[in-house]
Amino acid sequence: MENALIVFQSKKIRRTWFNGEWWFSVVDIIEDLTDSNRSRKYWSDLKVKLIGEGFEVSEKIGQLKLTAEDGKSRLTDCVTTKNAFRLIQSISSPKAEPFKQWLAKVGYERVEEIQDPELAQKRMKELYKAKGYSNDWIEKRSRGIAIRDELTDEWKKRDVKTELEYAILTSQISKETFGMTPSEYKKFKNLKKENLRDHMNDLELIFSMLGERVTTEITKNKNANGFIECGQAAKEGGSVAGSARKDAEKKIGKPISTKENFKQIIEKKKKHQEISALEK
């Protein structure tokens, strides 16, 4: 449901996109979990309880405009996904218990993954498989994550400081490799907030890995330090992958980058399976 928080099944929870993430209506969450016809009064009392528990309500709650039942847009108390779950923990209701148990389970699994990182890899692969990705694709995606982590670790050691700098360096590699920045690539594939690499095919993943792996080697060999020098290494690493991509495209006779995203690939698979079944 486009206008609903996915974990709530019995009621649409109003939401709005703000500062790069979804914000959800507090009173809608409360009404759904408590079946209260006085959700605003419940929220007023809950604020007092949350403040007593050390929850910084003024910092965690934002007032954003949402459409009310009468069709008018009004300022409404909203929370991010993270703070929605924190809110749920303080709601006394049988309907809230499954969410509390799920949060406890997720927290326990996270502790397990810190102690044994291989568990995180295993669970990640299971999630991708459940979504319909092939084993071959999952292996490439996992390898790509490892290569990306190695590159960002190298940048950290070399005085690349801010998230903005990381984003610029990543964009430089992508631009040289594919002729598109990540944001341009997402538009090319008709994606919004989805992870771009989750919608790449095998060859797109391979050339992404090549650009980042070569960048890591160039960064090390040149002993690049700071944003400017690492930026030059990123440009050179991406250029190597870009040249390889262009050569591959000449040999195979078609572009490496495609507009297809994972949703479309799955739909094509389903149609192919349906046709095959009918032919039998």
pLDDT recorded at residue 268: 66
Specify the pLDDT at position 3: 44
- Are 208 and 200 a contacting pair, CB within 8 Å? yes
Place of tokens 């078609």: 254
* Of 22 and 77, more confident: 77
pLDDT greater at residue 229 or residue 269: 229
SS3 79: strand
d(CA 207, CA 185): 14
More confident residue, 103 or 160: 160
Note the residue count of the chain.
Answer: 280
Name every residue whose Cβ is closer than 8 Å to that of residue 217 and which is 6 or more positions away in sequence: 237
Residue 142 has pLDDT above 50, yes or no: yes
Cα dihedral angle (175, 173, 228, 184), rounded to 10 degrees? 40
d(CA 172, CA 276) in angstroms, rounded, equals 43
Count the helices and strands in the chain (H runs, E runs): 12, 4
C-beta neighbour count of 80 within 10 angstroms: 17
Q: What is the mean pLDDT of residues 146-152?
A: 95
Is 24 within 8 Å of 81 (Cβ atoms)? yes
The helix or strand, by DSSP H or E, that contains position 179, with its residue range, turns out to be none
pLDDT score at 11: 63
Please indicate whether residue 168 or residue 274 has the higher confidence score (pLDDT). Answer: 168
Read off the pLDDT of each residue in 157-173 and give the average, rounded to a whole number: 95
pLDDT tens digit string along 231-247?
999 999 999 999 999 99
Is residue 257's pLDDT more than 90?
Answer: yes
Task: Compute, in degrees rounded to 10, the torsion defined by CA atoms 31, 37, 41, 45.
Answer: -60
pLDDT of residue 163 exceeding 70, the answer is: yes
- Between residues 138 and 52, the one the model is more confident about: 138
The predicted pLDDT at position 72 comes to: 84
pLDDT-derived band at 276, boundaries 50, 70, 90: low
β-sheet bridge partners, residue 22: 17
pLDDT in tens, 85-116: 888 888 888 877 777 776 677 677 777 767 77
pLDDT recorded at residue 269: 66
Q: What is the pTM of this model?
A: 0.65
Query: Averaging pLDDT over each range in 7-16, 18-27, 48-57, 184-193, which range is the top one?
Result: 184-193
State the pLDDT at residue 97.
Answer: 78
pLDDT-based confidence at residue 213 (cuts at 50, 70, 90): very high
- Indicate the SS3 state at residue 206: helix
180 against 84, higher pLDDT: 180
- pLDDT surpassing 60 at residue 5: no
Which ranges of the chain does DSSP label H, i.e. alpha helix? Answer: 26-34, 39-52, 57-60, 81-89, 97-115, 117-131, 135-157, 163-178, 182-188, 202-221, 226-252, 262-279
Report whether 182 contacts 196 (CB < 8 A): yes
